[in-house]
Structure 1
Amino acid sequence: MYNPPWWGGGVAGACCQLLTAPFDLLETRLVVDKEKRGLIKNMQWAIRKHGFFSLYDGVSAQILRQLTYTTMRFHLYQLGKQRFDDSRYFQKCILATFSGSIASSIGIPIELVNTRMHIDRTLPKDERWNYRHAFHGLYRVCRDEGFLALYKGGLFSIIRSSLSTIGQIASYDQAKEFYMRSFDFKHDQKLLHVISSVTAAIIYGPLIQPIENIRTLQMTHPGGMSDYVRHLLDFGTRGLFRGLVPCLLRSVPNTIIMFLLFEEFRVRFGNRK
């Protein structure tokens, strides 16, 4: 058994983001789209109007977020596992909540820029932010709105970060242990990593979607909680889960590839326990 390298989660997440970035963008646009276009129509509209590579708007912020925020939440979680008894799922969830909350201090500003870059082309020209890349976006927010504006939507980002760490990392660990006990898998089997990743991704998507949607609206639109809930309910009773399909299309392959890479980094570059 090996402890993973501290950078393993972030590098694995950044590699995955290059593959699944368009679904991240479409998920955001489905939430804020007032014309109530579906997933396919949103994709067709983006490609027809701005070209295929417009689906990668915000990818610099997504990669930066993976290399910072994801690195920290994975590393904090792994450090916690070495110091606390993580044999029970509840204890894993507590550890994941702590890790996600601390890591979100880095992730909130980058997520703000990323979210705005996702919807920028859908806005009238005089209302666009026109961030060229992640660092330009961070600079513009500080210059135009003040430093504290970087943490707009911070509360929901912290909740989302905690839930996503529970849904991905803690659930992956628990699923892995369950499948090892139930089906006599070995710790380093690729099939074990795949089915544990799929289990974690299926838990992760519905768990974070309502919070994700409210956070997205808070980062991109003025108003209060009642305005955001009303906007989501305009899509019907399933409005709180608007964007769940692209979320799953992103999170399932993303989680599988991320944990396969993470486990490979653990074996090749980690330290023996």
Structure 2
Amino acid sequence: MTGFAGVLDAALLYSFRAAAVVRIQLGQGSGYRVAKNMLAQEGVGAFYQGLSAGLLRQATYTTARLGSFRILTNKATAANDGKPLPLYQKALCGLTAGAIGACFGSPADLALIRMQADATLPEAQRRHYKNAFHALYRIVSDEGVLALWKGAGPTVVRAMALNMGMLASYDQSVEFCKDTLGLSEGATVVGASAVSGFFAAACSLPFDYVKTQIQKMQPDANGKYQYSGSMDCFVKTFKDGGPLKFYTGFPVYCVRIAPHVMMTWIFLNQIQKFEKSIGI
């Protein structure tokens, strides 16, 4: 029950913030303007479009990446004779875990983007997705099975960047807070989680921007797409707006990512304490 509550909370936060971030990245204005228009025109429910996809994403992507990260770090620690891993090894484990999680979660992530972008389209072009599974069904029907992994390249790269920032910085921050600052366990978890959330957002937003542009694409009347691929999207975006264009909506994105990361670590810490208490 606790595990489901944690997944639900994370999905609610992710869906709420992703709804605004996707629209900002689609060029609909600042965070305040987007949120105001969504609330005025569509109501509170607009912030939770794609909630079912958010739940599916948490159940696949988050589970796979955190589980694989612990497996990788445990094996690396054992190979290191039980000594703490250096930062570069933690970063490598984080990169690998991110790639594994993204491969599992890419279809759900695509459904989430499509469901949230659908409301921004003219009425005649909307698919009116009922839930994540209906979105996945429509994508397969209209574009084929492989379309479920459209944008998988930038999704994997984005996940690798996010996990490198999130996982490596967390373990390093825990060591600093505990050994250098002498903080209590609770303060250490909260402090390290906050640092982890910031670095996760900073490292991943440029890739998230490209991923969103690729995943929201749908063929025009001639069957052509706006971008031929991730690199084409990157080059055109860089030419149009420079490097800062990739950080469009960073405050909102950081508010979206950081609390989610913090909740993930706090929840995971409680699970580990429970496992130890029952001897697992």
TM-score with structure 1 setting the length: 0.88
* Residue aligning to 2:250: 244
* Residue aligning to 1:17: 11
Separation in 1, partners of 2:162, 2:177? 21
Q: Sort the Cα spacing of 1:226 and 1:83 in 2 relative to 1 into closer, same or farther, 3 A.
A: closer
| 8 A Cα contact 1:233 1:240, kept in partner | no
Q: Which has the higher contact order (CA 8 A, sep 6+)?
A: 1
| 8 A Cα contact 2:10 2:58, kept in partner | no
Q: How does 1:186-205 map to 2 (within 5 A)?
A: 186=184, 189-205=185-201
Unpaired stretches in structure 1, ≥5 consecutive residues: 1-6
Q: Sort the Cα spacing of 1:233 and 1:55 in 2 relative to 1 into closer, same or farther, 3 A.
A: farther
- Which of 58, 62, 73 is matched with 1:66 structurally? 58
| 8 A Cα contact 2:173 2:195, kept in partner | yes
Q: What is the CA-CA distance between 1:53 and the residue it aligns to?
A: 1.1
* Residue aligning to 2:26: 32
SS state of the match for residue 183, structure 2? Answer: coil
Q: What is the CA-CA distance between 1:269 and the residue it aligns to?
A: 3.2
Amino acid at match of 1:77: F
Separation in 2, partners of 1:226, 1:44? 33
Q: Deviations along 1:67-98, whole A, 9 cap, x unmatched?
A: 11100110011111221135111001111111
| 8 A Cα contact 1:11 1:67, kept in partner | no
The count of corresponding residues between Structure 1 and Structure 2 is 262
Q: Sort the Cα spacing of 1:89 and 1:18 in 2 relative to 1 into closer, same or farther, 3 A.
A: same
SS state of the match for residue 132, structure 1? Answer: coil
| 8 A Cα contact 1:31 1:232, kept in partner | no
- Which of 86, 89, 98 is matched with 1:88 structurally? 86
Q: What is the CA-CA distance between 1:170 and the residue it aligns to?
A: 2.3
TM-score with structure 2 setting the length: 0.86
Separation in 2, partners of 1:244, 1:229? 20
Unpaired stretches in structure 2, ≥5 consecutive residues: 78-83, 218-224
Amino-acid identity (%): 25
Q: What is the CA-CA distance between 1:257 and the residue it aligns to?
A: 1.9
* Residue aligning to 2:207: 211
| 2:263 maps to 1:257 | yes
Which runs of structure 1 show a deviation greater than 4 angstroms over 4 or more consecutive aligned residues? 231-237, 270-273
| 2:123 maps to 1:125 | yes
* Residue aligning to 2:221: none
Separation in 1, partners of 2:197, 2:121? 31
Q: Sort the Cα spacing of 1:60 and 1:232 in 2 relative to 1 into closer, same or farther, 3 A.
A: farther
